[in-house]
Amino acid sequence: MDGRFVIGVDIGGTFTDLLLMDDMGHIQRAKVSSTPSDPSIGVMDGLEKISGYLGMTDDELLASTARLVYGTTIATNALIQRKGSDVALITTKGFKDNLNIRRMWRENTFDLRSLPPVPIVPRDRIYEVTERVNKDGDIIEPLVEADVKLTAQKLKESQIRSVAVTLLFSFLNPAHEQRIKQILLEEMPDINVSLSSEVCPEIREYERCSTTVINAYLATTVGKHFQDTEGKLAEKSLRPGLQVMQSNGGVATTSFIADRPVNIFLSGPAGGVVGSTFLGEKTGRENNNFITVDMGGTSFDICLLNEGQFSLSTTNIMHGWHINVPMIDIHTIGAGGGSLAWLDIAGGLHVGPQSAGAVPGPACYMRGGEDATVTDADLVLGYLSADYFLGGDMKISVEKAEGAIRKIADPLGMSLIEAANGIFRIVNNNMLNGMRVVTVEKGYDPRDYALIVFGGAGAVHLPAFASELGIKHIIIPRDASVFSAMGLIVSDMRHNSVRNLNKSIEEVSLDELKTEYHSLLEDDMALLTSWGANRDDIFFEMLCDLRFPGQYRELTVSIPSVLHSLEEVESSFKDNHERLYGFIEETPPMIVNLRVNAVGKMVQPQLLKAKPGGPRCDGAIKTHRSAFFHEDGTENVTPVYDGQKVCPGNEMEGPAIIELPTTTIVVRPGQSAYIDELCNFNIVC
């Protein structure tokens, strides 16, 4: 390691989390408020906080940093808030309306009045050029370059700085798209050009166009953010380049992400999932099956790990837009500490998906928020301490929380505790339903899984309802509140490549398949080594998308690295098809896409094991306080433990509250908890 430290930075909707680990395994963490107007301000605030803990200056800290990995919500926020660049689209003549015709898809299938999102590219900024490539990739009508030059002149006049280019069948032959890019850069050297043949070289014209347009929409916003952030870090003596977590669970360089911002929609949540795979290996659990849940200030993210591995989805819908890039299969709902409680016109109580966010935040933060949130309810119920929020660094107000919840309680004729408990139970039920989506609804039995809980609010809520799914074991990392940042520092480099084939398996030779895969492997090897990966530490997984003729969607199957026959591919596809759908067809399948997942392994930090102690930890009790665990408002005088004073082997019986500087753990009545050798908190339901 060239420097002493690795640092993970996870920018969330409410808080920015930082976790530092030195080469001996010692950890330092910080949690600061996010700064939505300029996220880099929160990053620098967090680094200043950590350097203060270490007795160093910012410059000394960053000069000793070997690796800084970054997770961010900037792409998601830009799309939700419509803060991307003005963008234009260039497409094949006759296909101008492809983007706006869309698919017949609605977020709520049964709401016939629901409307698609407002178009990102107005129709008057969609330009057609004369050219044509056929379904075999042959040029049947040459590109008319005069059309491109005329379009460039119009782009100059309208001061467009970013353009998407999506031509018919360009994934088979990108020559025309590449020539259009050359002409545009000759005419407008500062323009950003996103080509569909580079961003999403796959079949399905609408999805390819949508993905490329979103990439172009985000390019200047995301690129400027990373340029500014890297500039500030370089001024503070950071030597290595910033690495950015992608939606696929691997990191890339900022220069690559500046060209592919569409790859970082799940940048933040992906860190927590990667951290869970790392932690799961250390637990020694027999089947290595986990449900990971991240409850932060704004959202609740759920992911399934089967045998310790996450799955990738290549067909995704983000805020109404189809985005076909590999993403960890994470299910997200609007349920977090900042989720707002509200009454509908009939007086029904709801929680979320709207959030108070970082500004103004929950009422108890005293930043101008006046509406009740989940955090306000947790405070009123006695689960949180007004004097030890963020380890005492941030003061919160019980009075403000009570005032906000009375706005819910009074119209419903409820007491303060009843209303707070109602908010608590409703947000828990929302999360419970979300967990059923990724387990029961997909044929997985949640009783076969342990729960890994992280995020600032997760350990307060999940113990209250995990048993309803039959889950008996909950693992809460010691650094649960900043666990996504932990995932960032244990992440590897990763790139996913794809090549379209679209032939019947009978029309493909084994040599042809091997040649195509070899080409993909060579390209990925060159890319990852350019990012700094060692050639000996790069590993590949080969996959194939297949479907039976007439089917609309493909099934992705893994194939052996040493392929002996096409029968192996067909057999793997049919076995998986029968397992998932209960049938197979006699017709030979189509090979649609070839895929390669390339991973550049990074040096993994070592986790320290703490000195074990006995089962008793009475000395860690710092106080008792009233907490409410039952619907009838029964008050429990509950012991509050200092989480920094417990050690491996310690055991606690519920009800109990364990406070750490960045999170609080609530052990419910009838549950027990123990500390393992890595200082994780384990709750037995």
220 versus 286: the higher-pLDDT residue is 220
Is pLDDT above 60 for 234? yes
Report the C-alpha gap between 258 and 223 in whole angstroms.
Answer: 5
135 bridge partner residues: none
Angle, alpha carbons 223-206-512 (nearest 5°):
90
Per-residue pLDDT band at 391 (split at 50, 70, 90): confident
Can you tell me the distance from the alpha carbon of 620 to that of 681, in angstroms, rounded to the nearest whole number?
A: 14
Task: Kindly state the tokens that stand for 459.
Answer: 């350990």
What per-residue confidence (pLDDT) applies to 3?
Answer: 58
pLDDT at position 117 is 81
Using only the alpha carbons of the chain, give its radius of gyration: 26
Measured distance CA(194)–CA(216) in Å, rounded:
6
Q: Show the domains of the chain with their CATH numbers.
A: 5-79+224-264 (3.30.420.40), 84-219 (3.40.50), 267-492+622-685 (no CATH), 493-600 (3.30.1490)
Query: What pLDDT is recorded for position 611?
Result: 79
- Is pLDDT of 176 > 60? yes
Give the pLDDT band of residue 33 (cuts 50, 70, 90): confident
Higher-pLDDT residue of 18, 117 = 18
Is the CB of residue 83 less than 8 Å from the CB of residue 76? no
pLDDT band at 422 (very low <50, low <70, confident <90, very high): very high
Q: Which of 39-53, 54-68, 100-114 has the lowest mean pLDDT?
A: 100-114
* Residue 276 CB neighbours (<10 A): 28
Task: Locate 632 and state its tokens.
Answer: 């009838």
Distance CA 557, CA 535 (A): 26
Rounded mean pLDDT, 196-208: 93
Q: Which of 549, 331, 534 is nearest to 444 (CA)?
A: 331
Give the Cα-Cα-Cα angle 99, 100, 105 (nearest 5 degrees): 95
The predicted pLDDT at position 392 comes to: 87
Residue type at 92? T
- Per the listing, tokens 């075999």 go with 136
Mean pLDDT value across residues 631-644:
85
Instruction: Summarize the confidence of residues 653-677 as an average pLDDT.
Output: 93
Q: Where would I find the H helices in 390-509?
A: 398-412, 416-438, 458-461, 483-489
- 71 within 8 A of 34, measured Cβ to Cβ: no
pLDDT of the residue at 34: 84
Q: Which helix (H) or strand (E) holds 516?
A: helix 510-530
How many Å apart are CA 417 and CA 415, to the nearest integer?
5
Give pLDDT, residue 517. Answer: 94
Q: Which amino acid is at 182?
A: Q
- Answer whether residue 489 shows pLDDT above 90: yes
Res 2: pLDDT = 46
Q: Hey, what amino acid is at 628? A: F
The confidence score (pLDDT) of residue 632 equals 65
Residue 321 structure tokens: 């837009």
pLDDT at 363 over 60: yes
Average pLDDT over residues 37-60: 90
CA distance 606 to 567: 43
What order do you get walking across the sheet with 5-11 strand by strand? 27-33, 15-22, 5-11, 65-71, 243-245, 251-253, 493-504, 590-600, 538-547, 555-559
Compute the mean pLDDT over every residue in the chain, rounded to the nearest whole number.
91
Confidence of residue 239 (pLDDT cuts 50, 70, 90): confident
Cβ–Cβ < 8 Å for 329, 266: no
Burial (Cβ within 10 Å: 0-12, 13-18, ≥19) of residue 164: buried
**Residues 455, 269: Cα–Cα separation, whole Å:** 10
pLDDT of 50 reads: 93
Pairing of strands 300-305, 330-333: antiparallel
* Helix residue ranges per DSSP H, 531-629: 566-581
pLDDT band at 171 (very low <50, low <70, confident <90, very high): very high
* Residue type present at position 427: V
Alpha helices in 6-67 (DSSP H): 39-54, 58-63
d(CA 558, CA 572): 8
Tell me phi and psi for residue 674, to 5 degrees: -145, 160
User: What number is the average pLDDT over the span 179-188?
Assistant: 96
Tokens 């906000």, residue? 404
DSSP 324-345: -S-EE-EEEES-STTEEEEE-T
CA distance 541 to 30: 36
Distance CA 39, CA 16 (A): 9
User: Residue 28 and residue 661: Cα distance in Å, rounded?
Assistant: 11
Q: Is the pLDDT of residue 106 over 90?
A: no
Least confident of 104-108, 199-203, 371-375: 104-108
**pTM value?**
0.89
Residue 417 pLDDT > 70: yes
- Strand pairing category for 316-318 and 621-628: unpaired
pLDDT reading at 620 higher than 60? yes
* Percent of the chain whose pLDDT exceeds 70: 99
For residue 661, the model assigns a pLDDT of 87
Instruction: Identify whether the C-beta of residue 358 lies closer than 8 Å to the C-beta of residue 367.
Output: no
